């Protein structure tokens, strides 16, 4: 026997299908909807239907838009020779909020992930290669997430781009060193260097190199200090334990 009425159970199930929404969160969302006034609930439903009806993918970059082209692709002031490749529209919006990147985007709408059986043909890689055939693109910036699927996708694209006539392409791999040495030397610092480094697409190469070296040195320095203190106090503790035992 269900805990709620069938209509409520169906509403909970629909919210539960959303990414990152657990059962308890789905229940809270469902009862929040039920607690709305009729006009508010109708407005909520109309907003969903209107977005599904009016929003579509930009035929050039794949970002979500209401018009024929997204506002970035339609802007002649942008550097159309520089393309920043992202996994989903949220990443493009995050980079755009920096107001420093003046190129255009290409949204893959996914990443290569064997676990979910998502291959290169399931995301917008073919559309990216078609954009390169015009010869206008000179630089590709790979801004996928620094996790296993994101780096798999970036590596796959990195092997394709040189053969397509792209002379310059950015591929950030320093995060791997941060992860390894962060785990070995100072685990609390691991979180600070594994977040998506969107600053990579807005900084010049010398500035990035300087900041990377500084961060690398900071990990070594703080990590060495941490381990030194641990060994010191561990030695004092062992000495007191042995002394008391004797």
Q: Do residues 91 and 153 touch, judged by C-beta distance below 8 A?
A: no
Evaluate if pTM is beyond 0.85. Answer: no
| pLDDT band at 139; cut points 50, 70, 90 | confident
| pLDDT band at 218; cut points 50, 70, 90 | low
The answer on pLDDT for 246 being more than 80 is no
Mean pLDDT, residues 120-142? 89
């Amino acid at each position: 026997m269900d805990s709620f009425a069938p209509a409520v159970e169906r509403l909970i199930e629909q919210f539960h299908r959303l990414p990152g929404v657990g059962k308890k969160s789905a229940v809270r969302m469902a009862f929040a909807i039920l607690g709305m006034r009729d006009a508010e609930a109708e407005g909520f439903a109309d907003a969903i239907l209107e977005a599904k009806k009016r929003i579509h993918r930009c035929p050039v970059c794949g970002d979500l838009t209401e018009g024929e082209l997204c506002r970035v692709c339609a802007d002649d002031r942008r550097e159309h020779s520089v393309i920043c490749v992202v996994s989903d529209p949220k990443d493009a919006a995050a980079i755009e909020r920096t107001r420093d990147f003046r190129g255009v985007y290409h949204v893959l709408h996914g990443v290569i992930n064997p676990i979910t059986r998502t291959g290169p043909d399931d995301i917008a890689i073919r559309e990216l290669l078609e954009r390169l055939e015009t010869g206008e693109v000179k630089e590709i910036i790979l801004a996928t997430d620094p996790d296993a699927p994101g780096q798999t996708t970036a590596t796959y694209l990195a092997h394709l781009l040189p053969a397509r006539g792209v002379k310059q392409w950015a591929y950030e791999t320093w995060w791997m060193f941060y992860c390894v040495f962060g785990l070995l030397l100072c685990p609390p610092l691991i979180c600070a260097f594994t977040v998506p480094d969107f600053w990579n697409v807005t900084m010049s190469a010398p500035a990035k190199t300087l900041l990377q070296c500084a961060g690398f040195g900071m990990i070594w320095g703080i990590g060495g200090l941490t381990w030194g203190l641990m060994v010191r106090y561990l030695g004092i503790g062992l000495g007191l334990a042995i002394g008391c035992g004797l």
